[in-house]
């Protein structure tokens, strides 16, 4: 057995308008606090939680957030060193850092490599200033190329950028410029996500007040098909609904999630999965640290999946992937439903597998709902 680790770094300089992630600015945690103060003992708490995890060998580690690149490399390196010493890592272990393009320097990137990182993912989102403004993003779009070039010069083996499409005010031409700009960078991987407006965010309030208008479904579909086309033309193959990569640069950490492998989430609000059991930690960093320093478990709740739930999840996750879904996992009535989608060009059958076509990927959730409920 193997065990992947996700390490949550819950700190940001500023909360973006669309963000519903479990992140906090220093001032939200403590009046007048600096990042150094609030994160000071955070790694100590993470290392305490690590002691509860199984000791299986580790094929991937992913530091997400928040903005992990705000923390000094040596602090994050303490976690990598502890996992190596305690569990051991595979020879080709993929160790990823999520980073804001504004937050890296040549010196920091060199040090991140020295402490063990070999993959980096930059939050680009868009190349258009007015789109970034609608998203309330803080980075300068010109800094993305600078950050990517610095990372490549430093020696990172794999570099990814995250994009968001469907922002209020974003046209198809805006989106085309963003994707073309991203593909011109010295990168190996692109993640491209449709904007989801989460209740309670600043963006949701702006839309509710009529200050911003969401693009319609047809435009969103055109945006997805465009990024798929442009990526494939540049040698980035689709391997999961929202992800494209050059050969050998697929994100193995995320593939572990989609293949329902075991992983342990370290940090507040982090989720874990061990052999069909799921559990997740208390959300607030202060409550998380308090529990661990008292010697208590930070786990808030857990659930054990039934065989039926696991079967549904295997279908939901499998169909998202380039390799598709094993026909052997499906019942006759499910195959009957899929036959209609095949006639309409949404799926293809390849030997013993069901594969989504590009237009089928647009309605993947609907297909999954119909064959699993």
Which pTM does this prediction carry? 0.92
Give the C-alpha distances (Å, rounded to integers) separating 113 from 62, 76, 280. 14, 11, 30
What's the residue count for the chain?
373
Over the stretch 288-310, which tens digit does the pLDDT of each residue have? 999 999 999 999 999 999 998 99
Residue 219 shares a structural domain with residue 340: no
Q: How confident is the model at residue 195 (pLDDT cuts 50, 70, 90)?
A: confident
Residue 291 in domain: no
Residue 88 shares a structural domain with residue 237: yes
Residue 80 in domain: yes
For residues 30 and 298, give the distance between their C-alpha atoms in angstroms, rounded to a whole number.
21
Residue 93 shares a structural domain with residue 206: yes
Q: What does the radius of gyration of the chain's CA atoms come to, in whole angstroms?
A: 21
Tell me which of 34 and 116 has the higher pLDDT: 116
Domain end marker among 258, 286, 313: 258
Alpha helices by DSSP H, the chain: 26-29, 35-39, 42-50, 73-86, 106-115, 129-135, 142-154, 172-183, 202-208, 217-233, 252-258, 285-293, 307-318, 332-343, 358-362, 364-372
Residue 135 in domain: yes
Over the stretch 205-264, which tens digit does the pLDDT of each residue have? 655 666 656 667 889 899 999 999 999 999 999 999 999 999 999 999 999 999 999 999
For residues 148 and 101, give the distance between their C-alpha atoms in angstroms, rounded to a whole number.
8
Q: What's 22's DSSP letter?
A: S
For residues 40 and 30, give the distance between their C-alpha atoms in angstroms, rounded to a whole number.
13
Do the Cβ atoms of 156 and 120 come closer than 8 Å?
yes
Do the Cβ atoms of 135 and 202 come closer than 8 Å?
no
Q: How far is CA 30 from the centre of its chain?
A: 28
Buried b (16+ CB within 10 A) or exposed e, 156-165: bebbbbbbbb
Average pLDDT rounded to a whole number, residues 64-80: 91
Residue 110 shares a structural domain with residue 13: yes
For residues 265 and 241, give the distance between their C-alpha atoms in angstroms, rounded to a whole number.
23
Residue 145 in domain: yes
**Number of structural domains found in the chain:** 2
Residue 47 shares a structural domain with residue 138: yes
Q: Exposed, middle or buried by CB within 10 Å (0-12, 13-18, 19+), for 340?
A: exposed
Residue 336 shares a structural domain with residue 232: no
Residue 366 shares a structural domain with residue 223: no
Residue 340 shares a structural domain with residue 193: no
Which tokens belong to 150?
């610095």
Q: Which of 178, 174, 175 is nearest to 161 (CA)?
A: 178
Do the Cβ atoms of 131 and 178 come closer than 8 Å?
yes
Residue 285 in domain: no
Do the Cβ atoms of 20 and 200 come closer than 8 Å?
yes
Which tokens belong to 175?
């989106």
Residue 234 shares a structural domain with residue 365: no
Mean pLDDT of the chain: 89
Domain end marker among 223, 240, 258: 258
Of 44-53, 60-69, 89-98, 146-155, the least confident: 60-69
> Can you give the CATH number for the domain in which 165 is found?
3.20.20.70
Q: Which of 162, 150, 92 is nearest to 121 (CA)?
A: 162
Domain that holds residue 111: 4-258
Buried b (16+ CB within 10 A) or exposed e, 17-55: bbbebbbbebeebeeeeebeebbeebbebbbbbbeebee
Residue 9 shares a structural domain with residue 92: yes
Residue 56 in domain: yes
Residue 265 in domain: no
The pLDDT of residue 246 is 98
Of 47-51, 127-131, 171-175, the least confident: 127-131
> Which residues are paired to 352 by β-bridges?
none
Domain end marker among 240, 258, 276: 258
Residue 86 shares a structural domain with residue 196: yes
Do the Cβ atoms of 203 and 264 come closer than 8 Å?
no
Residue 356 shares a structural domain with residue 244: no
For residues 161 and 123, give the distance between their C-alpha atoms in angstroms, rounded to a whole number.
6
The pLDDT of residue 65 is 84
Residue 188 in domain: yes
Give the C-alpha distances (Å, rounded to integers) separating 334 from 254, 357, 367. 27, 18, 10
């Amino acid at each position: 057995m193997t065990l992947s680790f996700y390490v949550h770094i819950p700190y940001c300089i500023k909360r973006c308008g669309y963000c519903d992630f479990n992140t906090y600015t220093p001032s939200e945690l403590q009046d007048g606090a600096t990042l150094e103060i609030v994160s000071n003992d955070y790694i100590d708490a993470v290392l305490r939680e690590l002691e509860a995890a199984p000791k299986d060998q580790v094929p991937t580690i992913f530091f997400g957030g928040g903005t992990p690149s705000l923390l000094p490399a040596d602090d994050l390196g303490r976690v990598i060193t502890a996992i190596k010493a305690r569990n051991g890592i595979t020879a080709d272990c993929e160790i990823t850092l999520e980073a804001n393009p504004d937050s890296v320097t040549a010196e920091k990137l060199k040090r991140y490599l020295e402490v063990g990182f070999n993959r980096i993912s930059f939050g680009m989102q868009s190349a258009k200033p007015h789109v970034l403004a609608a998203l309330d993003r803080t980075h300068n779009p010109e800094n993305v190329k600078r950050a990517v070039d610095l990372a490549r010069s430093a020696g990172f083996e794999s570099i990814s950028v995250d994009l968001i499409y469907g922002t209020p005010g974003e046209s198809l031409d805006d989106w085309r410029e963003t994707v073309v700009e991203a593909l011109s960078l010295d990168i190996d991987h692109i993640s491209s996500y449709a904007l989801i407006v989460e209740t309670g965010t600043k963006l949701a309030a702006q839309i509710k007040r009529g200050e911003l208008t969401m693009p319609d479904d047809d435009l969103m579909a055109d945006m997805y098909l465009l990024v798929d086309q442009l990526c494939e033309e540049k040698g980035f193959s689709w391997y999961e609904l929202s992800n494209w990569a050059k050969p050998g640069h697929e994100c193995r950490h995320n593939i572990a999630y989609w293949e329902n492998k075991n992983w342990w989430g370290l940090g507040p609000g982090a989720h874990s999965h061990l052999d069909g059991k799921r559990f997740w930690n208390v959300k607030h960093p202060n409550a998380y640290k308090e529990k661990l320093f008292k010697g208590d478990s930070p786990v808030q709740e857990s659930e054990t999946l039934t065989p039926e739930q696991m079967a549904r999840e295997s279908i939901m996750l499998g169909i998202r992937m380039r390799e598709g879904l094993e026909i052997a996992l499906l019942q006759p009535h499910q195959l009957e439903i899929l036959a209609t989608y095949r006639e309409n060009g949404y799926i293809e059958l390849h030997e013993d597998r069901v594969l989504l076509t590009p237009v089928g990927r647009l309605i993947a959730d609907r297909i999954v709902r119909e064959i699993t409920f």
